[in-house]
Structure 1
Amino acid sequence: MNLLTINCRCKSTNAASTFNPLTWRNSTFIGRKVTGLIDVQRVLPTGLWSKSKVYAKRKPARKLERTGEEVSIPSSSVDDNAQDVKMNSSDSSPKNRLINISSRSSVLQACIITSGLIAALGVIIRQVSHVASIEGLPVIDCTSEVSFSFEMRQLQLITGLVVLISSSRFLLLKLWPDFAESSEAANRQVLTSLQPIDYALVAFLPGISEELLFRGALIPLLGFNWASVMLTAAIFGILHLGGGRKYSFAIWASFVGLAYGYATIESSSVVVPMASHALNNLVGGILWRYQSMNLENGEDQK
């Protein structure tokens, strides 16, 4: 067992400005325990004492970065010489914002399972509607059917939808802060952990499955008219709430649903909204990744 003794000598000043040494005070360390440490701050250099307190306050910051949990530091414990170390939980920069980011495996698994269930539901509704129409059972409207054919005119519709929706989204991100915040939260939660090759998967699977259900199954069931298009678009928008997305994002999704519904009626083919939806998802994901990389590089240079 090691025994270390620190002698701390202190001086006081009387009225006659004479220095009277006080008694020696012993502080003993036994092993790693302190048994009577007195006035250590007076004998340690000021810089060393401040640095030790700064280091103590940086530990919660490192814990915050590793675990993603919020750590609060009482304001009364902040030293005047350590004001450069701050825990600003209200920092709005993407790099410091605390967002629940899903892992790559969980995102891909959820995408595959959810898309499969949505596609299966769409196929079931289409089959039930077809059988009901053949047997003469009472259904809303099963006379109009959406085909999977593809023509050059449909390619023009796909191109127009991609340009319209992608450019509209770009403008809204610049002009509508609430929509930009909702989109950023959703994209960071889902896309942050993905590899570039994964973007095609998470873009095409939801685009195909959602259009198969909403425009490929519900519109033929409800009827080839604007009433069914608006109803399915409203349902489509409401289901896009959650995951950091607010009502502004639901309004945007409803507008997108109207555009896809129009394209379905105009082309009589579910391929048009499927391809448009998937390509718009892919364009949005690639642009978000590009902007995020530029933002991180700019912050690193600072």
Structure 2
Amino acid sequence: MRKILYLTDSHIGADTTAWCQQPCCPHLLPDLWNDLREFVAANPLDLVLHGGDLTHHGTVDEQREAVRIAVGLGVPFRLCLGNHDLAREGALESWLSLGHELFGERSTPSGDFAVDLGSAILLVATNTWRDSDQPWFWSLEEALSGPVLADRQYMWLKEQLAAHRNKPAILAMHETLYPLPPRLTGLEQPTHEPSGFDVARTRGFVEEHDQIRLVLSGHCHATCRTYDNGCVHLTTGAFFEPPFQVRILTVDRNGIDVETVCPSAVAKYNPPIDEGKTWTSGQPVDRRVRMNF
């Protein structure tokens, strides 16, 4: 059995002007990290996986702070890079240098890596944006085609799935593959639709490889569950927005159990809440999920 804590979108280095669903609380991050450290100490884990946007600008200073925090949790910590983590030229290279321990010993040049969970395999892939001058560099100032995976990343995923063909797979990437549905938001139409021509290709890849049972994503700052052809897609609310959610994945030979918890008590900090968007914390079907192998 393996236990994984999954969190996403902590945005180290952001201020209150950062895009958010609920009012973001960058000033609380030191306390939130301390609460998480205490939670990890009290609840034995095998791995902490961050789903991306660990930092807001991807600067060297933010990267060093992120590594300090990650190492300080006292359990293996892995990072699935998000767009904000790659928001400057050369960010990927310095992540793989300064934060090499966040990607394991066998990561690819684009920061992709695999983690053997015993009864399952975890595959982590870095999204890129093709309209950028450099691969794996994201810029607000550039017209973006949307997040993609490079051809060689699809090849790497196929190789990993083949090498572990007898194990169900969990795929982690920062971008979502599906919008937030009206049943969650109460809106008439889906929102936060993933953009770009490659979304259909990635959806198709997941559909073609039924070995992939679970897809973990961040980016949309909301906790949601979507089913597609037997695969479960989960997004998770931003760590620096109330109610400061994380997910606990328990993986054993029978399946995957996912629960959503809040290591930081919201009442302790009394953060501002957008009552019109309380849906961002998800419904019961979004927060607790069971997949049988």
Common fold by TM > 0.5: no
1 or 2 for the larger relative contact order (CA 8 Å, sep ≥6)? 2
Q: Normalised by the size of structure 2, how large is the TM-score? A: 0.21
Q: Normalised by the size of structure 1, how large is the TM-score? A: 0.21
Task: Name the structure with the higher helix share.
Answer: 1
